[in-house]
Amino acid sequence: MTDRRCPASYCTRSPFTRRSLPWLVLTAAVLLLVQSARAGGTAAPRATRSRPEVEALIRKAGETPPEWWDSVALDFPKTLDLSWPDKAPPGGWNPSKNVGQYLWSVINENPGRWKSGVRFVHYLLTVHKDDRAKLAKATGTLGGQYFSLLNDPARAAFWYRKSAAIRPLRLHGALRLAECYWRLGSKAMAIQEMGKMQRYIAPGMVKLWSDMGELGKALEIADALGRTRMALAGHMAGGDACRLHDRYPQALSYYQKALDFPATGRGKKHVLTVKTRARESIDAIKVYDALDLSRIPNGAYKSTTASFAGPLTLEVRIADAKIESVRVVQHQDKQYYGALTETPRQIIEKQGVRGVDAVTGATITSQAIINATAKALAGAMK
């Protein structure tokens, strides 16, 4: 099914149309936001903004279609069950019928379809305009798509808040909303949002507190996780947070806790995979201080490390003592979001692996790229 028309509304309570808004020309503030989002990943925002400034950015983005809107057709299989049932139908995985499975395995795993997927969920808003439960589902999904796929924190915040107005966000959505505020330039708004989650702890909290410069708070949560069934994830999150802040002895200590974690029972395979990543993170940190691009001859160097679904291989190209390119040439990860482009971009920008932040939602893929880069550079030095 194809339809190039702009949908009647973003949602039933926040319409945008060609007639109602001069959306062909965005304000300078929104242009600045887009540039920052494209360049910034999950690192610290380039600007500090007041609450009214952030609110204005979110409102403007929510009322305005993305710049790419007219260039992308609404295109989805006619076989999809647009009633979007919460439970998957019997008969196994069927992304040609089940909307959730279609979004997961057809849209998320294919960057070329990300914008088409966003248009499709906007269309679902019109299909379910009178169904509050489905509207909460669709608006929350849009928040996730703008956050994870399109790296657009203003629109992500707009839609997460629309979803929260219908029913409370789940923990991962609330965390992402807090990160949106941080990326838009308001640490105060992010901390206020985090304060609503005091009953919970999760590895994602470790990362966000760390990104915001609150390493002590991040490690408090990592240590608390270490006393729960999520201990292994807590150890890895603590190591990643310390590594981002150049606290290498502490990072090694957390990764060693992951190595010492018992690998038994039904989850043994997963634990062994995480242990491999911990070992490779330790090995990477040990060569950080020794890395010297001036000692690496011009050329391309490959390395392989463990990632989420299997080995990840990348190629680092050195020219005149500079990192010219970092390219993932083989991987098995599927839900990697922007990690394959954003993490290499940071490595090239920083000309090394120190202080490179992981992409939220794809931290394992990001860390694999960092570890593989360190390994490749260390092996190439003369």
Question: Is-contact 325 350, C-beta < 8 A?
Answer: no
Task: Copy the structure tokens of residue 169.
Answer: 């966000």
The CA-based dihedral angle spanning residues 93, 95, 98, 104, taken in that order and rounded to the nearest 10 degrees: 100
Per-residue pLDDT at 31? 36
Q: Is 240 a residue whose pLDDT tops 70?
A: yes
pLDDT value of position 46? 54
pLDDT in the model for residue 362: 84
pLDDT tens-digit readout, 312-342: 999 999 999 999 999 999 998 887 788 889 9
Q: Are 275 and 259 in contact (CB under 8 A)?
A: yes
| Average pLDDT over every residue of 5-33 | 35
Residue 111 clears pLDDT 50, i.e. is over it:
yes
Using one digit for the tens of pLDDT, what is the confidence trace for 124-177? 999 999 999 999 999 999 999 999 999 999 999 999 999 999 999 999 999 999
Domain boundaries, the chain: 2-195, 203-286, 290-380
Residues whose CB is less than 8 angstroms from the CB of residue 368 and which lie 6 or more positions away in sequence, other chains included: 277, 280, 305, 306, 307, 308, 312
The highest-level CATH class for domain 203-286 is mainly alpha
Say what the pLDDT of residue 201 is.
Answer: 93
Average model confidence (pLDDT) across the chain: 87
CATH-assigned architecture of domain 290-380: Alpha-Beta Complex (3.90)
| Cβ contacts of 324 within 8 Å, gap of 6 or more | 317, 318, 348
Whether the pLDDT of residue 87 is over 90: the answer is: no
61 pLDDT exceeds 60? Answer: yes
Per-residue pLDDT tens for 358-372? 888 888 999 999 999
**Token code pair at residue 290:** 């020794």
Place of tokens 């798509």: 145
> How confident is the model over 254-292, as pLDDT tens digits?
999 999 999 988 889 999 999 999 999 999 999 988 899
